[in-house]
Every structure is written in C-alpha cells, then in structure tokens.
Amino acid sequence: MVSMKLFDSERRVIEAAERLATALGSDPNHTVAAAAMDTAGRIHEAVNVYHFTGGPCAELVVLGAAAAAGAGPLVTIAAAGDQGRGLVPPCGRCRQALLDLHPDIFVAVPTDDGPALRPIRKLLPDTYFFPDADARRIVRFNKRYYEAIATARKTSTIRYDDQIAPGPAIFLFEDDEAHRTLNGTVTGVEHHRLDRLTAAHARLDDSTSIDQLRKGLQSHYPGLPSDAEVDIVRFTVEAPDVVQ
C-alpha cells in the first residue's frame, strides 16, 4: 500500500496524539491517547479507559469528546501509546466504528517509512456497513479549487478508487489554513475507463486536451493503469451566502 503525503494539518493531529501520550505517565488505566481533527480545523483529544469489562479505546473516547463539542464529521484521527510506543493503528472494533460514523476519515498508521494516512475504508475492506449510521459525507478537493467550486465554475471532478456517493456532503479543501468548507451535493457519479475518456470529459475537468487529462490523473494517482475505472463526479454547491 502506498503511503500518502502528510499535510501540515495532519501532522498536527499526529503530534497532538503523541504529545498527550507522553503526558500519560504510568497510570495503567490510561495508556493510549488519541487526537482527531474536524472540518473546522479543531483538534479534539482523549485517552482510553482500560477496564476488564472492555473499557473504550482512545479512538472511541475521542469520537465522543468531539461529538460533545459539536464537531460534526471528523477528517483525520491518530492514536499513540504511552511509554514512547508512538503511533498505534486502531483495533478492529475502532475501525468498524470509524467506518460507520466517519466514513471519509483518514487514519494515521505507523509504517517503516514513518507515519502515513490511510482512508478508513482501506483499513477495513469488504466490511459490513451499518445502515442506520447516517454519517455526513466529506468530499476532498485541492485547496486551489476553492474559488472555482464556490462560484460554480467547476462542477465536476474525476476520481480513482475514491468511493463518492450521490447525496449531501461537506466539500473539504485540503491543507487550507483557513479551513474553508462548502456545503454541496453530489448529483451523480458515472463510471468510465480511463483509456475511453473523450475530449468532452477533459473539458469537464478543465483540461485542455484528453492527453493532458490522462497525464494529470496519472500524476495524481501514481501507477494508475491506462485501463483503470475512474469516476466522473458531478456536484452542486449551496449559495455563496451560506459558504462556511
């Protein structure tokens, strides 16, 4: 699995978890710290509660702490162990809860090359989805597209291996210092093979030619096969006076 580049905001979440873990001391009842960031850029922190009856992991406690603060959807989460253990990946129960309650969250995990961020669905493939979770969805964009999307000059995007579903969503602009978001709706998702995209598809993505579009996608998704299935995602945004 290819490691994802870390943005400064994501590093701050990891640092917050590790800093809190360092402060835990030697209390055997609290051995893991977690930090999670919401769409407004706020970082919420919590620790686990160890108990023989199955006390909650730090990841679950931080979900509750964030909810109590009115956080809404969470975009990044990290957990770290005490006694200098560093980042720890979530257990199976936490992975299932994260997938159901925050299906678009990125999770920090340790790798041989250092910390990496994974979409939660990559940590729990082919899993059961809780049908009544009613989670608010997030669609991520490069921050350079904010103005174009806010003014409805850009109304589509082409994605690979990114499970975006029709319906209301928060449009999140990654690594944006102002943590700007837009409320929008995904109106449709069409599936196409990369090698069968046309000039019309290139114009949808603001590319000047189909070759430029393919090169752009292959640059964004290293190793993208020429016959890969990609999605053309169409969307709308709410009026500017409700832009967050």
Helical (H) or strand (E) element with 157: strand 156-159
pTM to 2 decimal places: 0.89
Q: What is the pLDDT of residue 206?
A: 72
Which residues of the chain fall below pLDDT 50?
A: 1-3, 242-244
Q: Kindly report the number of other CB atoms within 10 A of residue 61's CB atom.
A: 21
What pLDDT is stored for residue 210 in this prediction?
87
Nearest alpha-carbon partner for 20 in 75, 65, 71: 65
The pLDDT value recorded for residue 241 is: 52
Active site residues: 59
pLDDT at 219 (0 to 100)? 83
What's the confidence (pLDDT) of residue 157?
93
Name the pairing type of β-strands 137-142 and 167-174: parallel
With a CB cutoff of 8 Å and minimum separation 6, the contacts of 42 are 69, 71
